[in-house]
Each structure stands twice: as C-alpha cells, then as structure tokens.
C-alpha cells in the first residue's frame, strides 16, 4: 500500500469528536470573554514590571560587530527597539510591550540604569509615566529582550496613542541624567463592541 493510500484516506470520526465539533460550531463550547469588572479585579494582583532576559547566543553574535568599550567610557546602547501587540486594542485588555536592547558597558560602574515609559495621546498630551530601575537585570554587556503588559482600562478614551521609552543613566544622586537611548511606537484604542 502506498503512503498516500495508507495515510491520506478518509477516516471515520468517533461520535465524541463529532459532538465536540458540532458544539464548537454552534457556539456552545466557545471561550467566554472576560468582563471589564473581572479585568479590573484581576489587574489588582498583576505584576506590571518589565522582565528582561539575557540571550547568550544573540550576545555572542552582536559582540562580533562591535569593539569592546575602552575603560571609563559610559555604557553605550547599540540597539533599542520596541514593538506593541496588538497595534489596535480594545479596553479591558492588556497591550504587550516588547523591547530589545544591545548594551555595551564596562565592569560595574557606580551608576543606575532606569527605563522611563511615557504615553502620549494624539494631541501630544502626556497621559501616563512609569519609571523602573532595570540596572539589576542588565548587569553585563549583552543582548536582552524584555516584556511588559500595559492594562487598558475601560475608561480609556478611544483614539491613537504613542508609547515613548527611554533608557536613562544616573551616576550619582545629584548628577545629571543621561539619555542613552530612546524608542517609540504607536497603538490605537478601539471601541469595546
């Protein structure tokens, strides 16, 4: 018997599979959408801090393209990219912010790395700001990926928004902050339906 005859011939479906398929097609077995009240309640227990992961293989690959930094030079960000998913989101959902960073730095210097995230409405008005200390996660030179979930409350006005993210370095309590890198991306809040 040939492969096509043996494995591609029609098979009979069991009654249980047929019932399951008919329930799915009729809508009886569909996933129920979370209500805004459930979303708001579950939001209280969420951790919205950014979690960065170090990638050894991507670090090795990127390191071949850049010379090591001389001693005493401040950190350099060679890549800082952000992507938002989905680009069109409805209230009572989470927008996922993904970032990629390739950071070069010398052995631990007396400095603090922070990420500042700002959200702007279409008219240019800043509607939210969040600052996170990320130096403990980005301890060495390397390629990192990070992810953050941003809740979109029910009361969020519909329209277009821009997320601006900056990597900031501080070298002391009274020192000036230095912007190492900046990136931005757009999203739109759609009607709930």
- What one-character DSSP code corresponds to residue 46? -
Question: Across residues 119-135, what is the average pLDDT?
Answer: 96
What residue spans define the domains of the chain? 35-189
Class in CATH terms, 35-189: mainly beta
Among residues of the chain, what percentage have pLDDT more than 70? Answer: 81
Q: Which residues contact 193 (CB under 8 A, 6 or more apart)?
A: 90
The H-or-E segment that residue 97 falls in is: strand 93-104
Highest mean pLDDT among 60-69, 106-115, 183-192: 183-192
- The Cα 180–Cα 190 span in angstroms is 33
Q: What is the pTM of this model?
A: 0.77
Nearest to 112 by CA among 75, 78, 83: 75
Question: What is the radius of gyration, based on Cα positions, of the chain?
Answer: 24
Q: Would you state the structure tokens that stand for residue 170, as one six-digit string? A: 């501080």
Q: How far is CA 164 from the centre of its chain?
A: 13
Q: What's the CA dihedral at 132, 137, 140, 143 to 10 degrees?
A: -90
Q: How many residues does the chain have?
A: 193
**Residue 171, Cβ density class (10 Å: 0-12 exposed, 13-18 middle, ≥19 buried):** middle
| H or E segment and range at residue 170 | strand 159-170
Q: pLDDT averaged over the chain?
A: 85
CA distances to 30, 117, 142, 169 from 33, rounded to whole Å, are 9, 29, 40, 42
pLDDT digits (tens, 9 = 90+) for 27-74: 544 446 789 999 999 998 899 999 999 999 999 988 888 888 888 888
Give CA–CA dist 98/80, Å, rounded. 11
pLDDT in tens, 87-107: 999 999 999 999 999 999 886
**Structure tokens belonging to residue 12:** 């009979």
């Amino acid at each position: 018997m040939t492969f096509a005859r043996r494995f591609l011939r029609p098979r009979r479906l069991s009654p249980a599979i047929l019932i399951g398929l008919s329930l799915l097609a009729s809508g009886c077995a569909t996933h129920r959408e979370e209500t805004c009240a459930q979303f708001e309640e579950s939001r209280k227990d969420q951790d919205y801090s950014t979690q960065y992961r170090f990638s050894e293989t991507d670090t090795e690959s990127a390191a071949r393209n850049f010379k090591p930094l001389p001693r005493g030079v401040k950190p350099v960000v060679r890549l800082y990219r952000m992507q938002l998913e989905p680009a069109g989101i409805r209230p009572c959902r989470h927008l996922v912010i993904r970032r990629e960073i390739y950071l070069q730095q010398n052995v631990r210097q007396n400095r603090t790395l922070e990420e500042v995230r700002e959200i702007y409405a279409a008219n240019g008005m800043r509607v939210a700001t969040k600052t996170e200390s990320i130096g403990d996660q980005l301890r060495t030179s390397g390629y990192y990926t990070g992810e953050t979930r941003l809740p979109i409350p029910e009361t969020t006005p519909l329209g277009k928004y821009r997320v601006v993210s900056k990597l900031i370095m501080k070298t002391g309590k009274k020192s000036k902050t230095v912007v190492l890198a900046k990136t931005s991306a757009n999203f739109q809040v759609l009607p709930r339906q």
